[in-house]
Chains A and B, each alone.
Chain A
């Protein structure tokens, strides 16, 4: 059990850091996560999981009275970075909630005007529903596909490194490029998908022009784009499962499905939580795909919260209202992640 606990705590410790970085499809983060998991492995071997924490505490006590200026200098870059790029914008955005400001003209105080507008703005709620719809398709699909491919790529197959690299490729390629590519695929008259459907004798589908299909189409595209990252995360998890568990199961006569269901899935649970949380947060920041492909249409069916925020800020010059939407969105994301975590933790304890 210690095994699982250690893993889980390491997984959750990562989340705030990832949150701050916002760029979820960042190769650096993958490396960080990987390194962290490796560290967990090492700790287990040492049987001293809290070694680092203890060292820290001891040093703190010893040096308690003395202040070391070099220390401040060393944390200065991080503190400065936090203040300038996180603290200041956050405080400024909070001030903006109560103002109307288009960058060019002086700020004007509007009290709770922006908040009142937000509550009565059907497009905000539309964007929220759209996002939830997107998540409903995207997250399970992402998880299923990532699990499948991680499992496949964990087998001893030929050209394994090649396949691993190629599934990761869309993550590295610029989102705009991928989106434009898929826009071509989805095109009504000339798109490859519709041409293929046509040659099979099926009717063409308005992938990006039909209000009912556009969001699922974008969800599929986003899955294709991001799944490589989650494959890698799950692969790391898979490789951390001790092989003796499988050997023991085989001796007991377990089949492939049983091994998957009763060993792989439980052992991967922390990673699955990570994948869930990351792709949920990623889903809430959906922007490039609708911005490039549909502009939020047709009939606002692909309008995402961030796209609406962007339009308010940079098309209509309403920084105050955009900030209000931004805070609202952050609160929603926070709530959703809290609920997710709560649900997952509860099922976890139930199982034990």
Chain B
């Protein structure tokens, strides 16, 4: 008995020790050494953005005696959304995060992971310097507070290989469905054993892929109406059906290749068009031969519409996490990062657009757009963009849409009307659970 008792005591002690050490992983703060406050900053993982963040931080650190900013890439994992949410749950978030996407915003807010930025008295002033009240409102949360600074956007447009279009007899970039389909029917085909297609779409039925085909097409067709309003689904309409029908026709008539390619099919001139964001420019300039001709146009819209098409902004926001012990300093750095000069640097280094209203009229950026005419296309588009609805259910709604897209567009097992209607009905049920 004695032995058993002693053994069980030892066992209990040992296990509780393991348990305690596992729980109490102390969060090392690098403060103190020189008395400077340290702010940890998570940037996106791609090298150009990481370079940009490091440059900004270096400049800040050189001029600030009390606050030091340390830049890190978001730890890689399955997706940055999961990593960040996991960090929020375990309270191991950094102080500032640069790449909060609208799809994850509401989850971060619900998890009490973020601080309210409009608590800072100069928030409104700082924002009104950057964007119009109308744009600002799109980044407001349903509780009417602000948890994010809209930082940059990559409006979705269509990238065209202008030489391929010209060879097919198309001089003007298509802007309507019928113009696009006419061009597609001429470009798609086989000459001298080489097959060509009009448009490449990453058609895997994964929710976020639909942010770059269905969603911009729908925004264009609906003239900027998003999917949900006040927890009521609003996309059960002819505009969504039109977007579905357009995609359906592209697939049905063979304008989109249903195969995977070795390497980039656009760069290899197998495909003439692609849905892209502005950041593609810094990538294309690096790998394309000098004589490769390309240009951008808004996503196609229904024939009976006039004016420029609205598109998805694909925005990323700066947020300050609730674990931040020096929110005031973090806020100062956020303002520094979104200053005019750093916004210009963002353009130059990453070819991504700062969320600034009337960018083209701002003198600080005039030189840049004069020497980068292709970025001008995106800047022109930038004021006609929408983000996602502030919902925790965004991912799931897009997953439903992706499922219906697969059924109607890829496999032709139901009509566009049925697909849109089914997607809307299911989304509404999910929103109704609360």
Q: A residues near B, CB below 8 A?
A: 70, 73, 100, 102-105, 108, 110, 113-114, 116-117, 120-123, 189, 211, 295, 297-300, 311, 315-318, 321
Contact = CB atoms under 8 A, between A and B. Distances in A.
A120 B426 CA distance: 9
A122 B1 CA distance: 59
Given A104-B88, A299-B411, A315 B205 contact: no
B8 A73 contact: yes
Contact of A211 (B1, B392, B411, B422): B411
Given A117-B429, A297-B205, A298-B410, A108 B434 contact: yes
Interface residues of B, number: 31
20 contacts: A70-B4, A73-B8, A100-B433, A102-B111, A104-B85, A104-B88, A104-B107, A104-B110, A110-B433, A113-B433, A117-B432, A122-B426, A211-B413, A295-B205, A300-B403, A300-B407, A311-B399, A315-B399, A316-B396, A317-B107
A110 B432 CA distance: 10
B416 to A, nearest CB: 15
Contacts of B8: 73
A303 to B, nearest CB: 9
Contacts, number: 68
A120 B429 contact: yes
Interface in B1-60: 1, 4, 8
Chain B interface SS verdict (over half): helix
A293 to B, nearest CB: 14
Interface in B403-434: 403, 406-407, 410-411, 413, 422, 426, 429-430, 432-434
B127 to A, nearest CB: 27
A316 B427 CA distance: 13
Interface of B: 1, 4, 8, 85, 88-89, 107, 110-113, 205, 259, 392-393, 395-396, 399, 403, 406-407, 410-411, 413, 422, 426, 429-430, 432-434
Contacts of A298: 406, 410-411
B111 A105 contact: yes
Contacts of B411: 211, 298-299
B376 to A, nearest CB: 39
Given A70-B1, A73-B8, A102-B392, A117 B107 contact: no
A211 B403 CA distance: 13
Contacts of A299: 403, 406-407, 410-411, 413
Given A102-B392, A104-B89, A300-B403, A121 B429 contact: yes
Contacts of A317: 85, 107
Given A105-B110, A120-B429, A299-B411, A100 B434 contact: yes
Contacts of B205: 295, 297
A214 B375 CA distance: 45
A105 B112 contact: yes
A211 B407 CA distance: 10
